[in-house]
Amino acid sequence: MTVVDIAKELIAFDTSGPPAREQACAQWIKDFLEDIGFEAELQVVEKDRANVIGKIGRGKGPGLVLSGHIDVVLAGDLGLWKVTGPFEPVVKNGKIYGRGACDMKGPDACILQAVKELAKESYKRQLSVVFTAGEDTGGWYVTKVLEEEKITTDDAMCGVIPEPSMMEIIPVHKGSGGAKVLIHGRAAHSSKPELGINANQKAADYLYALRGLQSKLDETRHPLLGPTTVECTMMNGGFKSNIIPDQARLTLNFRLIPEHKDPEISRRWFEDMIASLSSKDPEFKAELTSHRASEPLDVPLDSRIVTTLRDILGTRIVGAPYYTEAVNYTRAGIPTVICGPGSIDQAHTPDEYVSLEQLELGVSTFKEAVKRICV
Ligand SMILES: [Zn+2]
């Protein structure tokens, strides 16, 4: 079997969702790993859904973990698939087509091919592989792998997730968050506005202050990610054209650089804006009704995994606009970066593909990384 054969096998399993059913594909991966000498485990997380964890050189001290996901996004409008059906992979003009070709069954195949070619080596450090359910389709079951200690700092000291990055190295990406602000006004007939307090007008004051916050945030730029951004993405207020609105609601969405990773920081921005507007305007009344913030990925550029991949590839170190499981591994004490074949531009699209050249580069890179860290 070549990396292309493995990719075809994986793509042929319909693991699209929601609802995604990864278990049959997970079982195929487990059997593959056992055939080449890995200890492998199926971790069933829900009906028809499972992660796979494989280990070789167990107990030899923490080495590398290579981690991919098994689920893929829905095929969408089948009429838009011109080259082949989503689960009938074909190779054409140096590319393999099918749902998940680049995100990320092609990259998964690179992991499997690389570890197969190295299965007979004698390991100085443990090599682990993980294939998760629910990365793109709901569930985020990498958390089960880590919570149930299937992979710990005793297994791995660093990790790579081959999300499509054209084999560029991504040690940092932004965290994301959301908040809701409820603005209180006072209803009155619109012919007598002086009797009411217009919540929509007060919301406009808040939005204006938000632009001020952004200007301040623009002063702190991460070298790879730029500044934290804060946007109001939804707003509604009022219920009748001739009534002064008594309530307005703003939904905020923000993307955080590592400097702002403590969730309390962003919470304070939005609360302080309310406090500041209220102190200048006694009629301004608002509250932050919800707030959540997820952590950015922030693996140091001089960490072992970054320098190892940079030595092998010589490619650029860049930031990513999207959120990944690398945060979970890194938070668990295993610094993990993104580096995988194919372009994110082809992910989630009809006629998804990855070039065979990128797959070959994936295999050779992961092999070399395993050699340098584990063999
Ligand atoms: Zn992905």
Q: Decide if 137 contacts 45 (C-beta within 8 A).
A: no
Which pLDDT score is estimated for 321? Answer: 72
Which pLDDT score is estimated for 323? Answer: 85
Ligand 1 mean position, distance from CA 1 (Å):
24
Distance CA(178)–CA(171), nearest Å, equals: 23
Q: Decide if 359 contacts 3 (C-beta within 8 A).
A: yes
Q: Model pTM? A: 0.89
Ligand 1 mean position, distance from CA 351 (Å):
16
Residues with CB under 5 A from ligand 1 (ion): 103-104, 163
The CA-CA-CA angle for residues 175, 316, 2, to 5°, reads: 95
Which pLDDT score is estimated for 99? Answer: 98
Q: How many helices (H) and strands (E) does the chain have?
A: 9, 20
Distance CA(181)–CA(287), nearest Å, equals: 6
Ligand 1 mean position, distance from CA 333 (Å):
22
Ligand 1 mean position, distance from CA 310 (Å):
22
Ligand 1 mean position, distance from CA 15 (Å):
13
What are the two backbone dihedrals, phi and then psi, of residue 326, each rounded to the nearest 5 degrees? Answer: -55, -30
- Mean pLDDT per 10-residue section of the chain, whose length is 375 residues: 97 96 98 98 98 97 98 97 98 98 98 97 98 94 98 98 97 95 98 98 98 98 95 96 98 96 97 98 98 95 97 92 91 97 94 98 98 98
**Residue ranges of domains in the chain, CATH in brackets:** 3-172+296-374 (3.40.630.10), 175-293 (3.30.70.360)
Ligand 1 mean position, distance from CA 264 (Å):
29
Distance CA(213)–CA(234), nearest Å, equals: 18
- Residue 123 tokens read as 């390991």
Q: What is the DSSP letter of 164?
A: S
